Amino acid sequence: KQEVTQIPAALSVPEGENLVLNCSFTDSAIYNLQWFRQDPGKGLTSLLLIQSSQREQTSGRLNASLDKSSGRSTLYIAASQPGDSATYLCAVIRNNNDMRFGAGTRLTVKP
Partner 1 sequence: EAQVTQNPRYLITVTGKKLTVTCSQNMNHEYMSWYRQDPGLGLRQIYYSMNVEVTDKGDVPEGYKVSRKEKRNFPLILESPSPNQTSLYFCASSLPDRGRRGTEAFFGQGTRLTVV
Return residues touching partner 1 (CB under 8 A).
31-32, 34, 36, 41-46, 49, 52, 89, 91, 93-99, 101-104
Closest approach of Cβ 10 to partner 1, in Å? 13
Strand partners, 73: 23, 66
Closest approach of Cβ 97 to partner 1, in Å? 4
| Residue among 65 and 105 whose Cβ is closer to partner 1 | 105
Closest approach of Cβ 90 to partner 1, in Å? 11
Q: What are phi and psi of 108, to 5 degrees?
A: -120, 125
Longest CA–CA separation in the chain, Å: 42
Cα gap 12→95, rounded to integer Å: 35
| Residue among 24 and 80 whose Cβ is closer to partner 1 | 24
| Residue among 76 and 101 whose Cβ is closer to partner 1 | 101
β-pairing verdict for 86-93 and 32-38: antiparallel
Cα gap 44→15, rounded to integer Å: 23
